[in-house]
Chains A and B, each alone.
Chain A
Amino acid sequence: MKIVGLLIVVLSGGLLLYATEDFPPWGDPASPASTVVSPRYLEKAVEEASVPNVVTAVLADYRGFDTMFETTVIFCAGVACFVLLRIFTRVPEDRYYRHVPTGVTIHIKGGGKINERSKVFERIDTLWTPYDLIIRTVCRLLVPFIQLFALYVIAHGHHSPGGGFQGGVILGASIILVAISENLRAAIGRISERLDGLLSAIGVFIYAGIGALCLLLGANFLDYHGLASLLPGDQPAARSHGILGVEIGVGITVMAVMICIYNNLSSGGKQDEGL
């Protein structure tokens, strides 16, 4: 198999390398990729959509239909992970508890459990590492700042590199940080499974909802200048606000899907013990 693989790779690599002779030189401003459509986007983005970041303008306004289905793709990935992995019917299984004052570990077999709110016994994972005050405290202090930065990345996507996808991933990472530093159950306590599922659907709904709102106000689907009658300001300002609205929807969905994928993968579907 390795020899066949090597042969295939060498053949296709050779063909591709032979094809690069016809490519325009690297960095040529007059190459065909840069002279047909993109000058129009570069010149008209500020005038028509009042958004200096041309990448965000093209992504959410000029090619907004594409981005809506991309958000749907990432929603489907979250749903697929959930459907593949999630196990609901539980065999009664062993649990481990730790008596906090003395450090004694208790192993309860066959499904019995101690009250979750007991302050004397804390539930630990099967492969448990000792409590580390520094890691837990520092991560707990950092999480709100990470989320604040993520909201900045989403909101400032008009003027700096950023936007919905990037900010959504950082938001998801802040909750995954809680899961890594403390406990998967602590992260699930912050964003429960039901809230996670709702959030991922709400994000797609916001995006398609803004498109439908434009339809109701008389413009085409996802044509934000129809929003000019609702929002203060003229048409380019309305398009800028429309872009912000859909980026918020995208950010919410990406955050929820990142958390859902991490929860299901790290616990193998059972969502009781993480890594």
Chain B
Amino acid sequence: MSEIVSTIVANYNYWLYIVLMMIGLYAMIAKNNLIKKLVGMNIFQTAIILFYVSIGCKRGGTIPIIEHAHGPGHHVIDSAHYVNPLPHVLMLTAIVVSVSTFGVALALAVKIYQQYKTLEEDEIIMRLREK
């Protein structure tokens, strides 16, 4: 029992982000309004970004900008002193992709509203069936 507790305490950040991911996933599936689904998508993407960034974190590490880089002398760089920069780089791409998809999704929502005069999913399906 104490093993499970110690595993939870050691990995509680992953649990938090998984809970956030599941909240976003539930909003995407179960909500009726299109804009609420998009907000769920955004929450899901944010949770994934946080998850990856937390993988690269190191206890006692500072941001990955090399200190005293252009000063005189040659310093030995200890890579355990700096936080892992690779997840930050990958997540910059993820943020850009999330902004792009959100912009295009909102454009689609505006077009749907102009056509069907509603943003609720069940009303749109009903009007599609009538045509």
- Using a CB–CB cutoff of 8 Å, the interface residues on chain A facing chain B are 1-2, 4-6, 8-10, 12-13, 16-17, 20-21, 23, 25-29, 31, 33-34, 37-39, 41-43, 45-46, 50, 52-55, 58-59, 63, 66-67, 70, 73-74, 76-78, 80-81, 84-85, 159-161, 165, 261, 264-265, 268-269
Distance between Cα atoms of A67 and B97 in the complex (Å): 11
Q: A1-B29, A5-B29 are in contact. Are A55 and B107 (CB under 8 A)?
A: no
Q: For the complex, is B15 an interface residue (Cβ under 8 Å from A)?
A: yes
**In the complex, what residues of B have CB within 8 A of residue A78's CB?**
103
Can you pick out 30 interface pairs between chain A and chain B where the beta carbons lie within 8 Å of each other? Answer: A4-B29, A4-B30, A8-B25, A8-B29, A9-B26, A9-B29, A13-B18, A17-B15, A20-B11, A29-B61, A33-B56, A33-B84, A33-B86, A34-B56, A34-B58, A37-B86, A38-B84, A42-B77, A42-B82, A52-B65, A52-B66, A52-B70, A66-B93, A67-B93, A70-B97, A74-B96, A77-B100, A77-B101, A84-B108, A85-B110
Report whether A29 and B59 are in contact in the complex, using a CB–CB cutoff of 8 Å.
Answer: yes
Residues of the A chain whose Cβ atoms lie less than 8 Å from the Cβ of B14: 20, 23, 26
Interface string of B76-114 (1 = CB under 8 A from A): 010110101111110011011101110110111011001
Residue of A with least CB distance to B83: A34
Contact A73:B100 (CB < 8 A) given known A17-B18, A20-B11: yes
Give chain B's interface residues, CB within 8 Å of chain A: 7, 10-15, 18-19, 21-22, 25-26, 29-30, 54-59, 61, 63-67, 69-70, 77, 79-80, 82, 84-89, 92-93, 95-97, 99-101, 103-104, 106-108, 110-111, 114
By a CB distance below 8 angstroms, the chain A residues around B12 are 26
Q: Which residues from B are CB-within-8-Å of A261?
A: 103, 107
B80 touches A12 (CB 8 A): no
A46 and B66 contacting across the interface, CB-CB below 8 Å:
yes
Question: Which residue of B has the minimal Cβ distance to A73?
Answer: B100
Q: Give every chain A residue within 8 A of B21 (Cβ-Cβ).
A: 13, 16
A1 to B81, CA, bound (A): 49
CB-based nearest B residue for A77: B100
Interchain CB contact under 8 A, A6 and B107:
no
Say whether A12 contacts B25, CB under 8 Å. Answer: yes
